[in-house]
Amino acid sequence: MQPSRTRYKAGGFLLALAAVTYLDRVCISVLAPSIQRDLSLNKIQMSFVFSAFAIAYAGLEIVTAWWGERIGPRRILTRVVTWWSCFTIATSLAWNYTSLLVIRFLFGAGEAGAWPNAALAFSRWIPFNERGRAQGFFFAAAHFSGGVTPLLVAAMVPYMSWRAIFVTCGAVGFVWAAAWFGWFRDEPRDHKGVNAAEAELIETGRVLRTHGHASAGAWRVLAGSSSVWFLCLAYFSNSYGSYFVMTWLPTYLAEQRGFQKESLSIFSGLPLILSVVGDLTGGGITDFIARRFGLRIGRAGVAVAGYTLAGAAMFASIASSTPVMAATLIALAVAASMLPLAASWATCIDMGGEHTAVLSASMNTTGQIGSIVSPVVTGWAVTHFSSWQMPLIVMGGLYVISAILWTLVDPRKRLGAPESLAVASSYNRQETR
């Protein structure tokens, strides 16, 4: 019997989820000048508005991931998307600095746990040797959405107020939530479209849950793994850099590099558009190399290369005297930093097993600390030094540090497994089927 292909439909839902998350996140950066003008906000205040989302997101990320392991990604992602859609729309109701801070904080609280629970869904629905590609496509969908959002918002601005644009973007999530809850099932075997052959294909090499919630020793196991610590710390730079793109990049390009109107929209979205290439390339390469040379090289090697290229391109952008070249190098740096994304999240599945959601949430929480710090440090540095160079230097240095940290990560060490090669053995069994 040939395996059915229902897992690809599940993957399609998760790609749409990724796209909606970035649609709602990025639109505020494009509309920031209008919001600042209407609500009389300065750069520092707008920095804290950007960070309010990340603070709530980071604070509730692990809790929501743990909750997802208890009740499953079907219900938790329905709740997550419905909540954040409500507060995307509520952003249109802000009347001053305080109200905007509160609304964006609650928006972040609602979106917390979205990606870790998506990883949990991938871990249950995607066969072992397809995980890197699945994660690559997931992030490609997010970054493509983020890349075209400035263009979409720019097209709406002449016809709609910034408040109406938030209402329009927020409404999209309700459609996804209703379709997801009606179609998805937490276990592939429970879905009528999955035949026995596909269920067996998915479950080969997978750690099946034997109880309804994360074990009491999960936190001790996570804290006791050096690879977990290095994996999490390395992720800091990724979110730090990408959040700069989603918050201050349009302002940097306008004020420092002189971009206007159409060119500003294009180059504001270019880092995320090019990131699609990085996502897909990283996802394909990490699976290919892991099959040929093992998980250690397949995951860590891709990450080290990606972050090294990112650091080099970011430093080169600082030295560039041509606006277009500088903007292009920043875009290339951010795109290179996305090469390790698939390897990072696939490593969470490889190492995490039944604790995939909590491990990926721990990693993503570290990243969100970068998201919290990024806009505030940028706003402060530009105000204090009257220059945009310092934020770029910081990003370049963080990328280099992440490359070094990844040399210390061993994806073969599944949490709680008695043998460090447990994951690699499962991978090889999957390949010989």
Tell me how far apart the alpha carbons of residues 22 and 63 are, in angstroms, rounded to a whole number: 22
Q: CB–CB of 186/5 below 8 Å?
A: no
Q: What is the pLDDT of residue 416?
A: 63
**Gap between the Cα atoms of 419 and 285, Å rounded:** 26
Which of 364 and 176 is assigned the larger pLDDT? Answer: 176
- Work out the pLDDT band at 97, boundaries 50, 70, 90: very high
Report pLDDT for 393. 92
Cα–Cα distance, 162 to 147 (Å, whole number): 19
Question: Alpha carbon of 247 to those of 29, 216, 395, 410: distances in Å?
Answer: 5, 38, 14, 33
Q: Which one is predicted more confidently, 288 or 212?
A: 288
Residue 91's CB is within 10 A of a number of other CB atoms, namely: 26
Q: How many residues does the chain have?
A: 433
Quote the pTM value: 0.73
Does the pLDDT of residue 429 top 70, yes or no? no
pLDDT for 40 equals 93
Give the mean model confidence (pLDDT) for residues 375-402.
Answer: 89
pLDDT in tens, 173-205: 999 999 999 999 999 999 999 999 988 888 876
Q: What structural domains does the chain harbor?
A: 6-205+220-431 (1.20.1250.20)
Q: Name the nearest CA neighbour of 92 among 191, 185, 165.
A: 165
Average of per-residue pLDDT across 147-166: 88
Of 140, 12, 25, 29, nearest in space to 84 by CA: 25
Residue-wise pLDDT tens digits, 54-87 = 888 888 888 888 888 889 999 999 999 999 899 9
